[in-house]
Amino acid sequence: MTCCSGCGARKSQGAVRHAFLMGISAVYAAAFVSIYLQLPGLYGATGLVPAQAQLEKAAVSEDNWLENFKAHPTALWLYQPLHEHVDTIMDAVALLGAFLSFVSVIYWRCRCLPVYAVLWFCYFSLYQVGNTFLYFQWDILLLEVGFLAAATAPLVCVRNQYHPGGDLMLSLVRWLFFRLMFLSGIVKLTSQCPTWWGLTAMDVHYESQCIPTPLAWFAHQLPHWFQAFSVVQVYVIEAVLPFGFFLPFSSVRVVCAVAQVVLMALIFVTGNYNFFNILTALLAIPVLYDNELKAVVSSRFVDMHVSARKQGLRLIKRLPWWAEALFLLIAALAVGTFTAHAFDVHVQADMHVPITATVAFTKQQFSHWLTRALEAGIVLGAIGVAVPCMVAVFKALRKCNLGHLASVLPRVGVAALLFAASIETLRWNDRAFRLHTAPGYEVVQQSHQLLDPLQVVTSYGLFRGMSGVGGRPEVSVEGSRDARTWHDYAFKSKPGKVTGRPPFIAPHQPRLDWQMWFAALGSIEHNPWLQHLAIRLLEGEPAVLDLLEKEQPDDMHVRPPKYIRMRHWTYHYTNATEAVGETAPLRGQWWKREMRPGLYMIEVSLESQANAIAAIRKHFHNGRSSLPSVDADACTESWLCVGTRAVRQAMRGQDEFMVMVSLFATMLVLQLISLALCNPNTSKKTNTTTTNNRNSKQPTAAASKKRQ
């Protein structure tokens, strides 16, 4: 650990807390930089969904920005008292978040509550006007994790100072990790999706995901028996192993946490899910204690002992490594037996199909099991949160330390409020789970209603239904100058040309490309922003063109086309026989596609659909502004506008993935330098050790007399 490990080093999760906070800072940095690079094209005055229009729609007062802030809290309202453009404030908020997160990664003193509170509010401010492009589950997850990070961090980080209350807030992170993974596992079955029930989801997943990586093509070629068994493993990892997060046995908790990290790593290398997999993997850190984390990092699992002995309440005594291994073996056998019976797993001698698996339970049996599992999860979660709270209060009272008590009690109240509100998020995932009939449910409901506007307690359920069965739908945007010869616009990440290699872009998220995938699942009527995209392309708007590839066919990035239309396609991966080999019929192709009948959007031009275009403009620009106008000259001359514009000009045209690589490489190098500078001098360590050894060999006269 760095020199910051002294903060809370006397407790068993001091190192865990700093590792978790540093990781959250890195995720914040990726999220802020990623969205900053896309702000002009998405939310700028000439973008697809202008933030100015979002604020105008949410305004409750024309001249009181504080009233508007109370009704719709976001830092972007500052454009009124500061007399700045909304675009300038958005850039400033994103840059502030990127700067603070970057600094808190490399400098441990910045990993404190005020910094994480500002980071959370900056991202929340952008989320409030995010509309279509910022309402993903990982954006909400980052807000919830960021709120917990702020509550976990000390008010001021001082070396060798004990931080009371930090461990109890980490228990809420563990509870969030359980909810995220468990709900992600069960919604696959509660959705009644036939691919998840038939264990065929992985046969189409790699092909149908939003932006696959090159490795997804290879994973798609794996045989069906392997894909089916992979679905079984997903169920076990997501729906069964999370219960091990709360057990007092180190070996079980480590294995359960590592299993989640491995799953996230596999998803990361096969699908470009931005920062989601990194953020989820970070949630596994608070499942461990300091000695367990160090043992995992240094691969000394056998030497690891139960860290509960260091807590105020000793749940179990220290166990030898063989006892831990024995309990782990028993747990593994229990999970294996459950899996074999639930999914009728059979191992056979056939080399082509060595393993077979099918769902061996009915929907009624699953519903009954789910009800019992939710009850058990709530009980385990309540114990996991209540015990650290009681321990923290007990220690503060025992030491008669009013400062510690003042730090602990507010966190205990926040922990109780968050846990109560989170129970409400479980009710929607099982109709048979009669939570509303339980005593005290009104408190749960009121807590959730209080916190819901802040997006700090949310229900999750990733990959609920498998789309793309029968091929992945895609929408192509085509431009023409004469309405006869059409050229496809080239997007940065989404599939287009059949010879285009899938990219690797995580942790960056090209949000326009992602929304194009969702738009392909529906119709143009449910995606009005696509009509606005067509208008911006007809106008040749530079901010929107920056969201696409730099070079476009027929120089459409230089001279806008006269007509725009959109087609609907069905894409499939090529297989190894078709694409690999000198005689392969589709040699060098990653995809093959078929055109769907009809057009996704009929051809439009600025002249022929003037009335329709005017209506679209009015919709996305909210007609005439109902808020006070801002002096344009004052904006362009202010230091804030000049500074943000200079950064914008420097970053324009940069490759987003290379910006991410440079960002993380810089943070890594500076962190290594920080490690070298913060660690005590080696010679000083040596001198201290020598002095201690010399003193130990020369006992004092008092000690000698005492022995006599």
pLDDT tens per residue, range 493-551: 999 999 999 999 999 999 999 999 999 999 999 998 999 999 999 999 999 999 999 99
Q: What is the pLDDT of residue 437?
A: 60
Q: What is the pLDDT of residue 503?
A: 95
State yes or no: pLDDT of 444 exceeds 90: no
Q: What's the pTM?
A: 0.90
Binning pLDDT at 50, 70 and 90, where does residue 424 land?
A: confident
- Between the alpha carbon of residue 669 and those of residues 84, 105, 275, 297, 662, the distances in Å are 37, 11, 20, 19, 10
- Residues linked to residue 305 through DSSP beta bridges, in sequence order: none
State yes or no: pLDDT of 627 exceeds 70: no
Binning pLDDT at 50, 70 and 90, where does residue 631 land?
A: low
Q: What is the pLDDT of residue 608?
A: 77
Q: What is the pLDDT of residue 95?
A: 98
Q: What is the pLDDT of residue 630?
A: 54
Binning pLDDT at 50, 70 and 90, where does residue 638 land?
A: confident
Binning pLDDT at 50, 70 and 90, where does residue 587 land?
A: confident
State yes or no: pLDDT of 691 exceeds 60: no
User: Do 238 and 284 contact (CB within 8 A), yes or no?
Assistant: no
Q: What is the pLDDT of residue 162?
A: 63
State yes or no: pLDDT of 158 exceeds 80: no
| Portion of the chain with pLDDT greater than 90, in percent | 63
What does the mean pLDDT of the chain come to? 86
Q: What is the pLDDT of residue 9?
A: 38
Q: What is the pLDDT of residue 634?
A: 54
CB-based contacts of 123: which residues, under 8 Å, 6+ apart? Answer: 28, 31, 32, 97, 139, 142, 143, 146
Average the pLDDT over 33-54 and give the result.
94
State yes or no: pLDDT of 676 exceeds 90: no
What is the dihedral sign for C-alpha 519, 523, 526, 527? positive
User: How many other C-beta atoms lie within 10 A of the C-beta of residue 20?
Assistant: 27
Average the pLDDT over 236-248 and give the result.
94
Binning pLDDT at 50, 70 and 90, where does residue 660 land?
A: very high
For the chain, what percentages of helix, strand and coil (3-state, to nearest 5) are there? 60, 5, 30
**What tokens were used for 29?**
């940095």
- List pLDDT tens digits, range 293-352: 877 776 544 444 433 334 433 444 456 777 878 888 999 999 999 999 999 999 988 888
Q: What is the pLDDT of residue 143?
A: 97
Binning pLDDT at 50, 70 and 90, where does residue 653 land?
A: confident
User: Do 102 and 84 contact (CB within 8 A), yes or no?
Assistant: no
Q: What is the pLDDT of residue 600?
A: 96
Low-confidence winner among 14-28, 290-304, 559-573, 693-707 (lowest mean pLDDT): 693-707
